[in-house]
Chains A and B, each alone.
Chain A
Amino acid sequence: MTSDQGERNSLYGPLADVSGDAGYAEGHPPRVGFFTDTSVCIGCKACEVACKEWNGLPEPDADALLLTGMSYDNTGALGSNSWRHVAFVEQTLPAQGATALPGGTPDPSGLDSPLISEIADGGTTRWLMSSDVCKHCTHAGCLDVCPTGALVRTEFGTVIVQPDVCNGCAYCVSACPYGVIDRREGDGRAWKCTMCYDRLRGGLEPACSTACPTDSIQFGPLDELRAVAEGRLADLHAAGHSEARLYGADPADGVGGTGAFFLLLDEPEVYGLPPDPVVPTRDLASAWRWAGGAAAVLAAGVAVAFAGSPWSGKQS
C-alpha cells in the first residue's frame, strides 16, 4: 500500500510511515511522540503521578515502598506498574571540567567531608534528572516477538498491549532492548506505557506531558518534535554545553528511531539507558538460517548413525 519511501524497511532501518507499514490506510493520524528534554527536568515526578492516576496503575507491593538509596529515586525503574520513571543522578565534577551546567552551583560550605572538600577545591555538583518512558520504537522488539498479536501498532504510530489478548508469555520482556515492558506480578500479563491511547483517541495529550510543569516532556507530531529538539540542541551547544546530545532521534539507529526520544547531558548508560540498542529482529533471518542449518546437521547426523557401522552395536 504505502510504499512511498521507495523501499520496504519493515524490520529494520528508517521507516517513513510506521502506521502505514502496519496496515493503516492513507489518512491515518500523524505519528506522535514525546520529546523529553532532560536539561529542564526538575525531578518533580508530576509525570509519574499523573500517569499512575490516569491509567489507574496498581499500588506497588508494600516492600517496594522502601527507600532505594538512589538519590530521590524511589521508583527504581520502569515496569508493569510504573510507566514513567524519573531518574536522579548526582555528579560531582572537578573544577577544571569547564562544564558548568544548568543548575550546577559551586558549594561554598567547605566542610571537611570527601564530597564537600572536593567541592571546596572548586568543583561543582550537578543533578541529572530524566523522566524515562517506553520509547515506542519504529521497530519495536516487543511488538515483533509477541506471539498472540496482543501487542499492536496504533494509528498514531505508538505501540500498545491489548490486555484481553495477552497470555503472559513474557517474550516481549526479553525482547525490549530498553528493559521497559514487564509482566505484572499477580496479574500475569505484560503492561507498559500506552502513550495514553485513550486520551489520544479523545483528542487529548497524554497525562504525563500535560502535567509536566517545565515542558521537559513535550508531546506532539514526531516530525515537529524532532525539529524542536534539533533547535534546542543547537542552542545548548552554542551556550557551551557540548555534552548535550539527542537520544533516539536518529531514524538510522538500531531501532529505526524512537517515538519517545530524549535530550541527555551525559552518556545514556548514566541514566540507565542502553548506549546503542538494536531491535532483535534485525538478526532474525540470520538466526533462522543458522537454525535451519543446525536442523539439517541433526537430520544428517541421524542418517549417518543409521547408515554406517564403524562401531559395532551388536551384543557379542
Chain B
Amino acid sequence: MTEQLQVPPADFQSYYGQPILKVPRWKEPHLPLYLFLGGLSGASAAMGAAAAAAGNAGLARAGRLTSAGASLGGTAFLIAELGRPERFLHMLRVAKPTSPMSMGSWLLAAHSGLAGAAAATEVTGRLPAIGTAAGVGSAVTGPLLATYTGVLLSNTAVPGWREARRELPLLFAGSAMASAAAAGLAGTALDAGAERGPAIRLAVLGAALELAAVSRLEHRPGLAGEPYREGSAGQALRAARWLTPAGGAVALAAGRSRIAAVAAAGLLTGGALATRFGVFRAGVASAADPKYVVASQRPVTDGPAGG
C-alpha cells in the first residue's frame, strides 16, 4: 500500500452498531449486470449509428446487434430483480419525473424498441430506411440509458452513492464507451479486412474516462472514499484498475492483430464488469455501517483528513 488514506478510527456512537439505513435489497449479479448491459446497449447504439453514417458496415452491424441484445438482457435482469416480477408493467403505469427508475423504465422501453428495430433491419436487410431512423433514435436514447443509472444510484440515501452523483454518470459513460468498443473489436474479429480504428479510439477514450472516474472515487478523502477502497468493493475496483487500462493498451494493437482485438475486448469487458460490481458493493458497504451515515451528515470536527 503506497497510499495512506486510512482514517484514524473515530469514535462514532451508534445503536449497538446496527445499520441506520436498510442495506439495498438489490442483489448480485442482477443490479451490476443491469448497469453493465444498459451501458453496453446505450453506447453500442451510438457506435452503430455513427458507424452506419461513416460507412463502416462491420462496426455498424456489431453496434446494432449488441445494442439490441444487451437491452434485452438488461431488461431481463431488471425484471428478475423485482419482488413481484409479474407486475413489471406497473413500471409503465405512471411517468414520474421524481423517480429515476420511472424515467429509466420509459427510457429503457423506448431504447429497446429502437435498438430492436435497428437490429431487425440489420439482420433481415429489409426496410433499411426504417432501420437507419431507428438506429439514429437509439443513438439519442442510448447515451442517456448509459448514464441515467448514475442518477438511479445517487438518488438514494446510500452515502457511497449519494456523494458520488457527479462521478457516477461519467464513470458509467466511460465504462459504456469501453464496453461498446469491446463489442466492436470482438464483433469484427472474424473479418480480416475490418476497419477497427474507430473502435480502438473509442476503447482508449472510454478506458481513460472510466479509469479517471474510478480513481476519483477511490481517492475521496477519509470515510467518503473508504467504501470504494476496502472490502470486496475495493478488490473489484482494484481489478478494474488493471483490466481497463490493459484493455485500452492492448486495443492499440487491435488494428493489426485480430488476437489483440479479442484480448482487448475481454479485458475491457472484464474491467467494465468489475467496475459495476465494485460500485454496487461500495454502496452496500456504506449503507451497512452506521459510521458512514453519521460521517456524511455530521461535520467531522477532529479533521481526520486523508494523506
From residue A310, how far is it (CB to closest CB) to chain B in Å? 7
From residue B35, how far is it (CB to closest CB) to chain A in Å? 13
- In the complex, A281→B290 CA distance in Å? 21
In the complex, per-residue mask of A292-316: 1 if CB is within 8 Å of any chain B CB, else 0? 1111111101111110111111111
- Verify if A144 is at the interface (C-beta below 8 Å from B): yes
- Verify if B198 is at the interface (C-beta below 8 Å from A): yes
Partner of A299, one of B22, B46, B150, B254: B46
Chain A 255-278 interface residues, beta-carbon cutoff 8 Å to B: 267, 269-278
| Chain A residues within 8 Å of B96, by CB | 146-147, 149
- Verify if B62 is at the interface (C-beta below 8 Å from A): no
Q: Which of B7-15, B127-135, B236-244 contacts A (4 or more CB under 8 A)?
A: B7-15
In the complex, per-residue mask of B142-181: 1 if CB is within 8 Å of any chain A CB, else 0? 0110111011001111100010011011101100110011
- Verify if B110 is at the interface (C-beta below 8 Å from A): no
Q: Which of A38-46, A106-114, A164-172, A201-209 contacts B (4 or more CB under 8 A)?
A: A164-172
A141-B157, A183-B25, A314-B195 known; A291+B151 contact, CB < 8 A: yes
- In the complex, A211→B78 CA distance in Å? 42
| Chain B residues within 8 Å of A144, by CB | 98-99
**Which residue of chain B lies nearest to A180 when distances are taken between CB atoms in the complex?**
B22
A147-B96, A283-B155, A304-B201 known; A312+B255 contact, CB < 8 A: yes
On whether the beta carbons of B84 and A295 are closer than 8 Å, the reply is no
Can you name 15 A-B residue pairings with CB atoms under 8 Å?
A141-B157, A147-B96, A148-B90, A170-B25, A170-B81, A181-B22, A269-B290, A270-B14, A275-B297, A288-B151, A294-B150, A301-B173, A310-B201, A311-B204, A315-B193
On whether the beta carbons of A169 and B14 are closer than 8 Å, the reply is no
| Chain A residues within 8 Å of B43, by CB | 298, 302
From residue B198, how far is it (CB to closest CB) to chain A in Å? 5
On whether the beta carbons of A165 and B50 are closer than 8 Å, the reply is no
| Chain A residues within 8 Å of B294, by CB | 269, 274-275
On whether the beta carbons of A280 and B20 are closer than 8 Å, the reply is no
**B residues engaging A (CB < 8 A)?**
12-16, 18-22, 24-26, 42-43, 46-47, 50-51, 53-54, 56, 81-85, 87-88, 90-91, 93-94, 96, 98-102, 105, 139, 143-144, 146-148, 150-151, 154-158, 162, 165-166, 168-170, 172-173, 176-177, 180-181, 192-202, 204-206, 209, 252, 254-256, 287, 290, 293-294, 297-298
Chain A 105-161 interface residues, beta-carbon cutoff 8 Å to B: 141, 144-150
Per the CB 8 Å criterion, the residue count for chain A at the interface is 83
On whether the beta carbons of A291 and B150 are closer than 8 Å, the reply is yes
| Chain A residues within 8 Å of B147, by CB | 291-292, 294-295, 298
- Verify if A55 is at the interface (C-beta below 8 Å from B): no
A sample of 13 more A-B contacts (CB under 8 A), given A77-B19, A174-B24, A298-B146, is A70-B15, A170-B25, A173-B22, A269-B15, A275-B297, A277-B157, A278-B297, A280-B157, A286-B165, A287-B154, A294-B169, A304-B205, A312-B197
